[in-house]
A and B are shown apart, each in its own frame.
Chain A
Amino acid sequence: MATQGLTPANVSANVSVTPILSQSVLTTILLISIIPLSVGFYFLWHEKDGTWIPFIIFFVLIAIACIGWWRSQKSIDMGNASPTQITDKHGNKLVTDTRVLESSNAIAQLGDLLQSIGFRNPLPEPDGMVDSNGLVIPDSQDQARNIVDKTNNTLSVQTQEIVDLANGDRNVVIQDVISLPEESNRGILDHNRPESDEPA
């Protein structure tokens, strides 16, 4: 993607946000817990000292497995859930794992993200720099252009980096991240007042 100045660009990315399943770890812990359980019964059968030690280890492993299962079972149960897609009126789409949306905070963050990147357009070419009093600094247009070019390029690069990360089935689709929006204005505030002096 190469976006300079006001050149519109369409960016579309499929980004993998696949969760790492941990059920195999829980199963392994359960299998390992059989060892101290067996040792415990062996100690009991032969009436050896310290019989409680393998049983304690067994119960600790079982507890770890139960806690792990409890924390992950919601995600596992929703493993086949369809991705959730949020689309705004400009066609910007954000497709996310349904499990992420269990958190209201995550929903709010996704909304903010969509709003931030969906409505941002590249800046136009500036006409110069201003000082702290709002007065135009003479012969500063090149410096101003460099700032805007750098900002526009930075946004393009950041978008491109996300695109480069893209692959997989679960998608974050970023579309029209850097493009001029459709005219959706329903109100225009026009201050028709006498012309003021141009800045110095």
Chain B
Amino acid sequence: MEKNTGLLAGLSTLGQLQDINGLWFNQKNFSLDGYRFIGCRFDSCTLHIATTNYELINCHIDDRTLITYGANPLKVLKLYNSRNEYAFSHLAPFAPDRNPDGTISIRGV
């Protein structure tokens, strides 16, 4: 029982967001998932998100930073843009599939 308690406590700790305070990343390529960035700066980076399990608090992201979205967060974006005509014409990767009958499709991973 004691071992299981330690295990569950360890898993719980490991599952929490890790706080990162006041760091500057320049021209780095990495994933935000699993971290809570507080007061950080990202310049010319490539940031990946595969889940919504991250937080950015009071952070700076410059205009040259690329953000790549995994399949799951991309579905959220597509639903958000489902009635945004500009997204259909100019941001196709972030818009749902439009079917000939006028309906839209957002498929799974």
Chain B, residue nearest A140 (CB): B24
A117-151 interface mask toward B, CB cutoff 8 Å, 1 = contact, 0 = none?
10111011111111110101000100010011001
Chain A, residue nearest B23 (CB): A126
**Residues of chain B with a CB closer than 8 A to A172's CB:** 7, 11
Contact pick for B16, options A20, A116, A127, A151, CB 8 Å: A116
* B84 interfacial contact with A, CB 8 Å: no
Number of interface residues of B (CB under 8 A): 52
Contact pick for A189, options B12, B71, B94, CB 8 Å: B94
* A1 interfacial contact with B, CB 8 Å: no
Number of interface residues of A (CB under 8 A): 56
B58-73 interface mask toward A, CB cutoff 8 Å, 1 = contact, 0 = none?
0010111111111100
Taking the closest CB of chain B, its distance from the CB of A127, in whole angstroms, is 4
Given contacts A130-B22, A172-B7, contact A187 B74 (CB under 8 A): yes
* B15 interfacial contact with A, CB 8 Å: yes
A15 touches B7 (CB 8 A): yes
Question: Which B residues lie at the A interface, using CB under 8 A?
Answer: 1, 3-4, 6-7, 10-18, 20-26, 28-31, 33-35, 39-41, 43, 48, 50-51, 53, 60, 62-71, 74, 77, 93-94, 109
Question: Which A residues lie at the B interface, using CB under 8 A?
Answer: 15-18, 20, 89, 112-113, 115-117, 119-121, 123-132, 134, 136, 140, 144, 147-148, 151, 154-155, 158-159, 161-162, 165, 172, 177, 180-181, 184-191, 193-196, 198-199
21 interchain pairs, CB-CB under 8 A = A18-B4, A20-B1, A113-B12, A119-B50, A120-B33, A125-B28, A127-B26, A136-B24, A147-B21, A147-B23, A155-B18, A161-B10, A165-B6, A180-B31, A185-B48, A188-B69, A189-B67, A191-B64, A196-B62, A196-B64, A199-B43
